Structure 1
Amino acid sequence: MPDKGVAEEHQDDRFDDLQQQVLKGMGKTYTPVVMALWKDPQNAGSLDYPDGYGQVTGPCGDTMQIWLRVRNDVIIDAKFWTDGCGPSIVCGSIITIMVKGKSLEAAVRIDQQMVLDELGGLPEESHHCALLAADALGAAIGCVRSELVAEKTKEVKHADI
């Protein structure tokens, strides 16, 4: 395989310089937490056989999905997926970090403002991303609770037989 030509190497250097300038500019708008999760999102993906799943589509058209694994009413794992923008990815990432180890009762209280606070803020035009994540979490917890109710109902019916 031939070596890169001087022109290609120069083009790569210019691209790297441009990328660094963009990241530096973003660092003025976004907090270090946001930048870290944007560069390396945590908990992206799905769970096989989740105990709860929630999907919400916001007015902007972005969709957020959250999967939960729960044991003894405590969230032991959480994953997310979104087709949204960078702030949506960051909000999905932080909310899945926030819920791990929390009881369902504590997790259901996580709202838009708590997500924004955990991130150290987002520009106002991205606040809806935090709401999208909180709503998807609420839907996933609702799913867990309905499954728990169905399971308890099934247990009672079998006990009566």
Structure 2
Amino acid sequence: MTSFDDIVDELQSKITEETIDAYGQAGYDRWRNPPHRGKPEKTNYQGESTGGCGDTIWIFLHIEDDRVVDAGFGTDGCGSSTISASMAAELAAGKTCDEAAEITGEMVLNGLGKLPDEDQHCAWLAATALHEALGDYYNKTAKQVHKEG
């Protein structure tokens, strides 16, 4: 008779295998330990985007001197939302705001290497959240310049 622990181990092994098949090894590794998860301590700008699937991604930015010093993310969505948001934050970190504004869903998808077809919209959802965070920066900076000018 098969023990409960053996059944659980077999099930976990099958889930791991299917996830690696769907996301690739790099996507699986990112899902298990997503870089940039959470809100950086010095966050001063943020954006969010909700997809038709119901997932929401938040991108948090720490910007100084027109450069993304640090980036983080949060999501209430699936694994594809998690790894897409993680990649968007990673791509933005260290870039000027104008460079970060050029990050597209295609770039997020390419950075991941692989997403299931039905989840590829998550890459665009993450890029949109990043653009919203940059819009927060541009709006607040423009208002500050307007007040000073």
So what's the TM-score if we normalise by structure 2? Answer: 0.92
The residue identity in structure 2 corresponding to 1:131 is W
Name the residue aligned to 2:17: 24
Name the residue aligned to 1:154: 147
Q: Is the 8 A contact 2:36 2:71 kept in 1?
A: yes
Name the residue aligned to 2:58: 65
How far the C-alpha of 1:47 sits from its partner, in A, is: 3.5
The CA distance in 1 between the partners of 2:6 and 2:148, in whole Å, is 65
Q: Aligned ranges for residues 90-105 of structure 1 at < 5 Å? A: 90-105=83-98
Name the residue aligned to 1:130: 123
Q: Deviations over 1:17-40 (max 9, x none)?
A: 220121112222212221111111
How far the C-alpha of 1:139 sits from its partner, in A, is: 0.3
The total of aligned residue pairs comes to: 148
Taking every aligned residue pair, what percent have the same amino acid on both sides? 36
The CA distance in 1 between the partners of 2:18 and 2:41, in whole Å, is 39
1:12 aligns with 2:15: no
Name the residue aligned to 2:49: 56
Give secondary structure in 2 for the equivalent of 1:66.
strand
Moved more, 46-55 or 79-88: 46-55
Q: Deviations over 1:52-73 (max 9, x none)?
A: 1101111111111111001111
The CA distance in 2 between the partners of 1:59 and 1:144, in whole Å, is 26
1:75 aligns with 2:68: yes
How far the C-alpha of 1:108 sits from its partner, in A, is: 0.5
Instruction: Return 5+ residue gaps in structure 1 as ranges.
Output: 1-6, 157-161
Q: Is the 8 A contact 1:108 1:141 kept in 2?
A: yes
| CA RMSD after TM alignment | 1.5
So what's the TM-score if we normalise by structure 1? Answer: 0.86
The residue identity in structure 1 corresponding to 2:68 is I
Instruction: Return 5+ residue gaps in structure 2 as ranges.
Output: none
